[in-house]
Amino acid sequence: MSDAFLGVESSLTGRRWVGLSVEQERLAEAMSQQTDLPRPLCATLARLGVPPEGAEAYLTPSLRDLLPDPSVLRDMDVACARVVAAVERRERIAIFADYDVDGGSSAALLIVWLREMGLAATLYIPDRIDEGYGPNAPAISELAAGHDLIICVDCGTLSHDALAAAKDADVVVLDHHLGGETLPPALAVVNPNRQDEDGALAHLCAAGVVFLLLVAVNRALRPSRAVPDLMAMLDLVALATVADVAPLIGVNRALVRQGLKVMGQRRRMGLRVLSDVARMDTAPTSYHLGFLLGPRINAGGRIGAADLGARLLSTDQEHEAQALAERLDALNTERREIEAAVREAALAQAEERGLDAPLVWAAGEGWHPGVVGIVAARLKEASNRPAVVIGLDGDEGKGSARSVSGIDLGAQIQKLAAEGHLIKGGGHKMAAGLTVARDKLEPAMARLTEMMEKQGAGRLGPSDLRLDGIMMAGAASVELVDLIEQAGPYGAGAPGPRFVFPDQKVLFTKPVGDGHLKLSFGDGGPARLDAISFGAFRSDLGPALEAHAGRRFHLAGRVEINTWRGQRSLQLRLEDAALAAG
């Protein structure tokens, strides 16, 4: 094991600090010498695996260079030909979508594209509680009776029985969830996570797959007619990619980067109004997509009407957009209240079982299915273990699972279903859903715990805090942070950089909000920086800094730009601290 960064074996939040590896340090040093880029930026690029000769291209990713030929995906050409035929014959098209942000964004992409081609599509999103995830036979049968083509987005890969009910319509599946050994009875199943794919595009979310289909369809139609501008639709792809926690690598990074620029132009009615309702007053970033817009769009599928998000993202009517955005905002507030109650009960139950087990799980009567995924994520964060949270209702329980890096949870839950321990289950490496019979709950969780132990989940320690290096208060500047942001956008698969300001004196503290702490600090020179630590008083961090008594600290977190009344200034989003020696 390498030495702890700055010797911090246990910080004020109980974490070990880990810096760059020796190889990454060498890479950063070589890059700094060869490119004249600032050392903090070189450290970030080195940690992301960028070689010195590739730094310039990485900082200016080109979608044109990174976008794959859609035809590399199996069944893409069949799906493309079928959509082209539907457009040319003016057929009746239905879109069956999942109820989360990825499903809503995917549906909106198709609805907007078809509307620009003069076709009105039927939107169908199943109710999370009454119908559950994915296609069901009654809904598919009814859609098939009134449509020529059904396009399933962000679902359908495992829906054999449901898609067999489409007797009078063709079905095209555009998905990214892990596929089984056999494919459902559909005309085309376009999915980079089919078992017969090579995995090169496994990081795409469903909206990314839909975008590739539309690239192919535009290419097929363009010789004979005008086609919609797909670049203007990248805001939807970016939103889905970030909200679905897809890795920001390869083409995903270029899609999100370009999509954020499109979103910044505020041309999409629904996103513009929702941004205003959420009081977003700066240029959009991946943080805004993941933590401000995404949860509000998700709120409809979680505890309200399942189609609210997709309708908001696809509407071109301002009054409708305003009403939908306000409704989603209110539902999000309600969702937070429900989540808080379930989280408290689930954490108490999980703690009683032990947070050091290979699998952390909890199940409760009447826990709302719309929040169990969020609560599973909270348990995962609290324990650094894979987590499952299940809401029981009648003879069944519906749950969500979240995993940690290096543990493939989706494949194991699919295996658990195949063994008969679950009624159904599936997902991808980091997230999955499941339905279990009440009387099989305990043995199913025991079997999943056994699977997780075999993957090494029981040997995971408290999560380390990974750091890119040191930043000095006097050298920190808005210009430097702007440069570091060019290595983004940051998110899943490409975490944002964290830096340590060493040996700092706390100059001012003020508790704010619900357990947060504002402070300012400096190293004795003229430079003084502001910081905000969210949830500081949930650990020893807040109390120690508030009662600093002149002691000096190493302060770790993410350096960001705060915009207030047109002025840009630096702020440290403080995540951790440790007492400085001496």
3-state secondary structure of 21: coil
Tens-digit pLDDT profile for residues 234-279: 999 999 999 998 999 999 999 999 999 999 999 999 999 999 999 9
Residues 566, 420, single domain; the answer is: no
Cα separations (Å) of 332 from 225, 307, 379, 462? 42, 15, 20, 31
Residue 43 lies in a domain: no
Residues 265, 302, single domain; the answer is: yes
User: What is the predicted pLDDT for the residue at 323?
Assistant: 98
User: What is the predicted pLDDT for the residue at 1?
Assistant: 61
Cα separations (Å) of 241 from 89, 137, 171, 251, 257? 32, 29, 24, 11, 11
Residues 360, 279, single domain; the answer is: no
* CA 176 – CA 157 distance, rounded (Å): 8
CATH of the domain at 518: 2.40.50.460
Instruction: Tell me what the mean pLDDT of segment 145-155 comes to.
Output: 98
Residue 511 lies in a domain: yes
Range of the domain at 280: 66-329
Residue 41 lies in a domain: no
The pLDDT confidence band at residue 197, using thresholds 50, 70 and 90, is very high
Residues 194, 75, single domain; the answer is: yes
Say if residues 360 and 380 touch (Cβ distance below 8 Å). Answer: yes
The candidate with the shortest Cα–Cα distance to 476, out of 518, 526, 517, 510, is: 526
Say if residues 189 and 205 touch (Cβ distance below 8 Å). Answer: no
Residues 324, 178, single domain; the answer is: yes
Total domains present in the chain: 3
Residues 298, 195, single domain; the answer is: yes
Q: Is the pLDDT of residue 463 over 80?
A: no
Residues 290, 419, single domain; the answer is: no
The pLDDT confidence band at residue 462, using thresholds 50, 70 and 90, is low
Residues 280, 359, single domain; the answer is: no
Residue 377 lies in a domain: yes
Of 402, 430, 459, the last residue of a domain is: 459
Structure tokens at 503: 């040996």
Residue 303 lies in a domain: yes
Q: Is the pLDDT of residue 461 over 80?
A: no
Residues 439, 503, single domain; the answer is: no
Residues 418, 510, single domain; the answer is: no
* CA 470 – CA 118 distance, rounded (Å): 56
CATH of the domain at 376: 3.10.310.30
Residue 489 lies in a domain: yes
Tens-digit pLDDT profile for residues 106-124: 999 999 999 999 999 999 9
CATH of the domain at 170: 3.90.1640.30
Residues 526, 427, single domain; the answer is: no
Of 459, 494, 522, the last residue of a domain is: 459
Residue 125 lies in a domain: yes
Of 405, 428, 459, the last residue of a domain is: 459
Say if residues 448 and 466 touch (Cβ distance below 8 Å). Answer: no
Residues 397, 477, single domain; the answer is: no
Q: Per this entry, what is the length of the chain?
A: 582
Residue 44 lies in a domain: no
